[in-house]
């Protein structure tokens, strides 16, 4: 067994380019429906607490990932938090350089056991510190559609 020949001329190399359109609809489910509705309608942030494990999830979840218990109640949290980690992203998805690097942070969300990924706004990269207090900035109510983009980012509180 084994191939006894190899292509040894680059101008003899052939290939076929393939693409497919990839489109999905991702339904929110019970948990995220409540979370994004509260942002859209009331500008409020909701979390959910597993009474069994004492874990508070953010955003809202309908079950606990540790004990698998159902979580029905939501708890309001201010949406504020502290920068847990941050990064300056320099590349676009096609690996070309971004015109403006993006300042992205993981926010330790107050009153919860979770961290939340979003942009930092109104602050320069050199000014950001881990532990810095931040608050969420929402779009105007008329522009909110119940998406993650309803949050413009987090800025120093």
Partner 1 sequence: MREKVAIAGIGYTAFTSVSPGSSYRELTYEAAVKAYEEAGIEPKDVDSFVCTSEDMLEGYSISDEYCNDQLGAVLKPVQTIPGDFLHSLAVGVMHILTEKFDIVVVQALSKASNMKTIPEMVNFAMDPVLNRPLDITAYAVAGLEMNRFLEEGKATREQCATVVVKNKANALANPSAGYGARITVDHVLESEPVAEPVRLLDIAPYADGAVVVVLCAEKIAASLTDKPVWINGIGWSSDSPTLESRDWTDAVAVRLAGDMAYRMAGIRCPAKEIDLAEINDEISFKELQHLEALRLFEPGQAGRATEDGVTSPQGKLPVNVSGGGLGVGHLFECSGAQKVLELVLQLRGEAGARQVLGARVGLAQAWRGIPTTSAAVAILSA
Chain positions contacting partner 1, by CB under 8 A? 1-3, 6-8, 10, 13, 15, 17-18, 22, 24, 26, 28, 32, 55, 57-59, 65, 84-95, 101-102, 104-106, 113-119, 125, 130, 147-149
Shortest spacing between CB 76 and partner 1, in angstroms: 18
Nearest CB to partner 1, comparing residues 23 and 73: 23
Residues 6+ apart with CB under 8 A from 107: 81, 82, 83, 84, 115, 116, 117, 118, 134, 154
Q: Is the peptide bond before 59 cis (omega within 30 degrees of 0)?
A: yes
* Closest separation in Å from C-beta 156 to partner 1: 17
Distance between CA atoms of 105 and 103, rounded to whole angstroms? 7
Q: Which residue has the tokens 């953010």?
A: 58
Shortest separation between residue 83's beta carbon and partner 1, angstroms:
10
Smallest gap from Cβ 37 to partner 1, in A, equals: 13
- Quick one: 15 or 140, whose CB is closer to partner 1? 15
Q: Which is nearer to partner 1, 21 or 24 (CB)?
A: 24
What secondary structure letter does DSSP report for 134? E
Within 8 A by CB and 6+ apart from 71, the residues are: 31, 48, 49, 50, 57, 61, 62, 63, 64
Instruction: Round to whole Å and give the CA distance between 6 and 95.
Output: 33
DSSP 8-state assignment for residue 112: S
CB of 115 to partner 1, least distance (A): 6
């Amino acid at each position: 067994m084994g191939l006894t020949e190899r292509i040894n001329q680059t101008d003899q190399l052939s290939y076929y380019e393939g693409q497919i359109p990839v489109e999905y609809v991702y339904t929110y489910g019970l948990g995220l429906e409540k979370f994004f509705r509260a942002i859209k309608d009331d500008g409020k942030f909701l979390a959910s607490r597993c009474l069994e494990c004492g874990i508070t999830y953010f955003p809202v979840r309908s079950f606990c990932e540790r004990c698998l218990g159902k979580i029905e109640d939501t708890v309001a949290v201010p949406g504020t938090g502290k920068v847990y980690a941050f990064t300056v992203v320099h590349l676009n998805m096609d690996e070309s350089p971004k015109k403006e690097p993006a300042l992205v942070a993981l926010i330790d969300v107050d009153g919860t056991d979770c961290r939340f990924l979003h942009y930092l706004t109104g602050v320069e990269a050199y000014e950001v510190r881990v532990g810095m207090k931040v608050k969420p900035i929402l779009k105007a109510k008329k522009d909110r559609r119940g998406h993650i983009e309803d949050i413009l980012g987090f800025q120093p509180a």
